């Protein structure tokens, strides 16, 4: 996959692209990140990229010219015919794991990160394919949001994660939150690991994990259960959880 980022602050990405899984993914040539400062494409003699809004009002608006030209240059360089062109903004669709999975199947993503009050509407209408928000709060710019999306997409690319870090049982990719995990020691300051996890009985462990996962989802994100295809057995368990207001202690009492 090729990922281009158009930003006025390319240096913000250096630490993220040069650390951990993203760095390794690049070294393994699974992904290729490119940073472009779209100010370089401004034809304005002062290299301005923003201007006052027509109709008046507070704040500045990013002008279309540098952004359209920077996207054109990237498309020409890559000979990419149908890249996804993603505008980071609080008005976009709220980002989800499903969207990460969809984007991870593309060959080329171009992210546009804005600052100031907003983007000229023609960028939205005639250039971008997607508008993404990472949540209902306002950041100073789209860079941190783009990093979130790029991180979550990169880790889904084939071979980006080693076995130890594998993706399929993550929270959200299954539609449920992840079950609780423990490691050594089995008893830490009298806080004990649930017996079932030490039992070596894999069927019982799987059952415990499924129920623990359902319980955690019920307690923290009941909205996720509405779209989750529960088996009859799982429905019974959720019913019990509801009756006990989530108060069933796992593992022994399930
Ligand atoms: N730019 C500013 N705030 C944002 C948000 N919440 N998501 C995406 N881009 C943004």
- Contacts of residue 130, defined as CB under 8 A and 6 or more positions apart, other chains included, come to 84, 85, 86, 87, 92, 93
Atom of ligand 1 nearest to the CA of 114: 1
- Which tokens in the block code for residue 157? 């690319």
Confidence at 252, pLDDT banded by 50, 70, 90:
very low
* Pairwise CA distance, residues 81 & 76, whole Å: 9
Q: Which of 74 and 253 is assigned the larger pLDDT?
A: 74
Query: Active site includes 117?
Result: yes
Is 134 a pocket residue for ligand 1 (Cβ < 6 Å)? yes
For the Cβ of 142 lying below 6 angstroms from any atom of ligand 1, the answer is yes
Average pLDDT, the chain: 93
Contact by Cβ (8 Å): 234, 241 = no
Ligand 1 center to 244 CA (angstroms): 39
Separation CA 3–CA 109 (nearest Å)? 5
Mind listing the pLDDT tens digit for each residue in 149-203?
A: 999 999 999 999 987 777 666 777 789 999 999 999 999 999 999 999 999 999 9
Report residue 250's pLDDT band, with 50, 70 and 90 as the boundaries: low
pLDDT digits 0-9 by tens, 3-34: 999 999 999 999 999 999 999 999 999 999 99
pLDDT higher than 60, residue 115 = yes
Q: Is 170 a catalytic residue?
A: yes
What does the pLDDT read at residue 254? 43
- DSSP class per residue in 45-69: TT---EEPPTT--SS-EE-HHHHHH
* Alpha carbon of 114 to ligand 1 centroid (Å): 9
């Amino acid at each position: 996959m090729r990922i281009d980022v158009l930003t006025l602050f390319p240096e913000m990405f250096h630490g993220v692209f040069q650390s951990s899984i993203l760095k390794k993914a690049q070294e393994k040539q699974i992904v290729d990140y490119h940073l472009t400062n779209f100010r370089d494409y401004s034809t304005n003699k002062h290299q301005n990229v923003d201007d006052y809004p027509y109709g008046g009002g507070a704040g500045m608006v990013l002008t279309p010219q540098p952004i359209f030209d920077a996207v054109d240059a990237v498309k020409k360089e890559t000979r990419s015919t149908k890249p996804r062109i993603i505008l980071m903004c609080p008005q976009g669709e709220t980002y989800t794991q499903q969207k990460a999975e969809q984007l991870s199947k593309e060959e080329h993503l171009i992210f546009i990160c804005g600052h100031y009050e907003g983007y000229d509407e023609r960028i939205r209408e005639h250039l971008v394919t997607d508008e993404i928000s990472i949540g209902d709060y306002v950041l100073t710019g789209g860079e941190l949001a783009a990093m979130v999306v790029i991180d979550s997409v990169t880790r889904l690319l084939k071979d980006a994660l080693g076995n130890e870090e594998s993706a399929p049982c993550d929270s959200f990719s299954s539609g449920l939150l992840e079950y609780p995990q423990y490691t050594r020691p089995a008893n830490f300051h009298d806080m004990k690991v649930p017996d079932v996890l030490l039992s070596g009985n894999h069927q019982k462990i799987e059952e415990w994990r499924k129920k623990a996962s359902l319980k955690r989802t019920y307690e923290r994100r009941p909205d996720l259960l509405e779209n989750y295809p529960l088996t009859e057995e799982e429905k019974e368990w959720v019913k019990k959880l509801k009756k006990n207001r989530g108060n069933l202690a796992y593992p022994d009492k399930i």
